[in-house]
Amino acid sequence: MAEAGKTTQQFRAEVRKVLHILTNSLYTNREIFLRELISNASDALDKLRFRINRGENPREADLPLEIRISIDKEAKILTIADTGLGMNASELADNLGTIAKSGSEEFLAGLAAADEEGTRPDAANIIGRFGVGFYSVFMVAKEVEVISRPAFDEDATAHVWTSDGLGSFSVEAALENAPARGTVIRAHIKDDAEEFLEKFRLESTIRKHSAFVPFPIYVEGERANTQPALWREPKTSVSKEQYAAFYKALTYDHKDPLDVQHISVDAPVQFNALLYIPDSAQDFFGADRDFWGLDLYARRVLIQHRNKELIPEYLAFLRGVVDSEDLPLNISRETLQENVLLRKINQVIVKQSLGHLEKMAKNDAEKYVAFWKLHGKIFKLGYHDFPNRERISALLRFNTSALPEADSLASLDEYMERAPEGQKTFWYVAAPNREAARLSPHMERFRQKGIEVLYLFEPVDEFVMEGLGKYKDWEFKAVENAADDALDAFADKEGEKDTVQPLSAEDNTSFDDLLAHMKSILGDRVKEVRVSHRLADSPAVLVSPDGSMTSSMEKLMRVMQKDDSLPVKTLEVNRDHPLLRNMLRMFKADRNDKALSDMTQSLFDASLLLDGYLKDPQALAARVNNLLTESAAWYAEVRKI
């Protein structure tokens, strides 16, 4: 190509098609063009810095390495200038005239022949891919001029590449607006893109996508990227205050983070990350359900906001950034070419995060309790991560029957340490709160034996228990599903069991008849009425006939299936309870006594109430009032008042 003359070339047909797709389809957000142009400018500055560090002397050596953006609203021109490597006429035609031709790739390939002693500087910081990304400028520009002067050719003149992005481009010597060194891009903005002629719009876009580019970016003379890329800094050089300031700038949270991880990994994939644990809870199961993920950067340039591939769902509480040198991109920076590297990054983050939480639990129990109360509900979802199930199980925390208050927490290992010899089961009870769990009739046998029980207060907890299955060869089992002989091997706690006079043979037969009569009163609302071996203090309880599903789990499944019918269960009664003994006396005296029928109905309703299934509280209240009225009359008669 002649240096002085103007040469016009036609884009090939396939290039025109690709260009049309780029400017109209692939980029879903037009502001991306600014990210691409800044990335290319940073690329050129990186190349120049590399050669300077290698000992070469560029023209205008005193020029600072920087990017400057200016606006001409009247002419509708947006200018982006860098003092980087620059291009000659041939390079302009080659790099900007061929789709997917990358100056960066050629430059990196040339490094293989450099300095056999290994003293050359690291060139891994080069960002951008000159070629495809550049053409995104035609989303907002009707014509583009690229004026460039190479940095290492003292005699080279500046040249200008011009195109409307439709069918052709031209290259000629630049007679005006020529830089002393580097490249100037002049974009003639379309009428429908005049928002990009506003300073605040450009600054907000830079803060969003290019805030951490390692060279100063000035917009109309004011620096727009003042926040350093802390994840690229050595951990020892970053203060707690800097971590907190970065977190607040990233998340707009007014509070400092609870904790931070600064990760730098070279293998199996190279990446840096800053991961924060917020000091406030996230409504992950409500309004914030989709607002999670980490910001993904490639060489300090934002590629995707809230990328959900980088962390599993149970780490959704993490906020932060991941920046990789190895990340492959396809024709658009918005679409990742493949997910293999993301999966590797995911695996490393999971391993590092679990290790971080393990250290916190061991060395700072108070902070770990704070973490659990804020984010434990989300972290429990890790029960389905089979490769890490053992580590996740060790990090779970529960309130239990052995702890003094509802805010106290214990690990599964602590539960095992307190268990009596021979116990190999984690027993649990699901309830809406601690008091409801404590008063559950199913707990009575366990209190009698002094067996600690895990309290589950969240709907997800029972899924966690079923999903985990085992931890260190100990099974998880609901107290509700405990077999009659499950606790026979354990002695009663001293003073816990009252001695009750056993029934005579005749009363045993009568009691069986009472159970049959109670079944006839309740009809098909119960599967059967039988003597309970699990109750110590309560008169009755409802149990699932097959014992395969707890009441709380069954209720949850019915809600999910929109089934509001009452489940048909077995009513178990405590033969030694004073109420049942008195009901036996009433039955023997008059099996058709209306009060006996009301008591049976009330026992059933009270059991439904404990299970959370009572649908007719008015009827229960009426029966209770009737019984209270009769009881008061009997009491007054006996006391002669």
**What pLDDT, in 10s, does the model give residues 565-602?**
788 889 999 999 999 999 999 999 999 988 899 899 98
| Range name among 333-347, 523-537, 605-619 with the lowest pLDDT average | 333-347
Q: Which carries the bigger pLDDT value, residue 448 or residue 252?
A: 448
CA 54, 59, 65, 71 torsion-angle sign: negative
How wide is the angle at C-alpha 315 spanned by C-alphas 337 and 552, nearest 5°?
125
E-strand ranges in 278-418 read 294-298, 301-307, 319-324, 399-400
Least reliable range by pLDDT among 197-201, 372-376, 497-501, 596-600:
497-501
Residue 368's pLDDT band (boundaries 50, 70, 90)?
A: very high
Antiparallel, parallel or unpaired: β 474-478 and 425-430: parallel
- Report how far residue 303's alpha carbon sits from residue 305's, in angstroms, rounded to the nearest whole number: 7
| 422: region left, alpha or beta (phi > 0 left; psi from -120 to 50 alpha) | left
User: pLDDT: is 561 or 258 the higher one?
Assistant: 258
Token pair of 127 as six digits: 């960002």
551 three-class SS: helix
DSSP β-bridge partners for residue 218: 68, 223
Q: Reduce the DSSP state of residue 527 to 3 states and report it.
A: strand
Enter the tokens of residue 372.
Answer: 């659990």
Whether pLDDT at 172 is above 80:
yes
Q: What is the pairing mode between strands 526-531 and 569-573?
A: parallel
List the 7-10 sheet strands across, edge first.
7-10, 168-173, 159-163, 141-149, 182-189, 77-82, 67-72, 217-219, 222-223
- In angstroms, rounded to a whole number, what is the distance separating the alpha carbons of residues 588 and 583? 9
Taking alpha carbons only, the member of 490, 498, 502 closest to residue 451 is: 490
pLDDT for 638 equals 79
- Contact at 8 Å (CB) between 127 and 46? yes
Q: Encoding tokens for residue 208?
A: 């969003």
The CA distance from 541 to 543, in Å, is: 7
Rounded CA separation 16/20 (Å): 6
Residue 70 pLDDT level (bands cut at 50, 70, 90): very high
**What is the arithmetic mean of pLDDT over 527-537?**
90
Tell me what pLDDT residue 543 has. Answer: 87
Tens-digit pLDDT profile for residues 389-435: 999 999 999 999 999 998 999 999 999 999 999 999 999 999 989 99
Q: Look over the chain and give the mean of its residue pLDDT values, rounded to a whole number.
A: 85
Helix, strand, or coil (residue 16): helix
What's the pLDDT at 299? 82
pLDDT mean over 502-508: 88
What type of residue sits at position 67? I
**Is the pLDDT at 2 greater than 50, yes or no?**
no
DSSP code at position 566: P
pLDDT of residue 13: 62
Distance of alpha carbon 519 from its chain centroid, rounded?
Answer: 50
**Residue carrying the six token digits 């884009």:** 11
For residues 180-190, average pLDDT: 95
Question: Interior CA angle at 373 toward 367 and 378, to 5°?
Answer: 115
Q: What pLDDT was estimated at residue 547?
A: 60
Q: How many CB atoms lie within 10 A of CB 156?
A: 17
Q: Cα 613 to the chain's mean position, in Å?
A: 34
3-state SS string over 267-304?
Answer: CCCCEEEEEEECCCCCCCCCCCCCCCCEEEEECCEEEE
User: At residue 84, does pLDDT exceed 50?
Assistant: yes
Q: Which two tokens stand for residue 332?
A: 């658009």
**Mutual angle of helices 578-589 and 505-522, in 10-degree steps:** 90
For residue 126, what are the CA distances in angstroms to 101, 161, 552? 16, 23, 57
HSE-CB of 102 using CA atoms within 13 angstroms: 19
Q: Give 215's Cβ-side CA count (13 Å radius).
A: 25
What is the predicted pLDDT for the residue at 294?
A: 95
Residue 100 has pLDDT above 50, yes or no: no
User: Quick one: which of 502, 410, 392, 509 has its CA closest to 452?
Assistant: 410
- Domains of the chain, first to last: 7-223 (3.30.565.10), 230-365 (3.30.230.80), 398-481 (3.40.50.11260), 505-639 (1.20.120.790)
pLDDT of amino acid 97: 67
Asked if pLDDT for residue 335 goes beyond 60, the answer is no
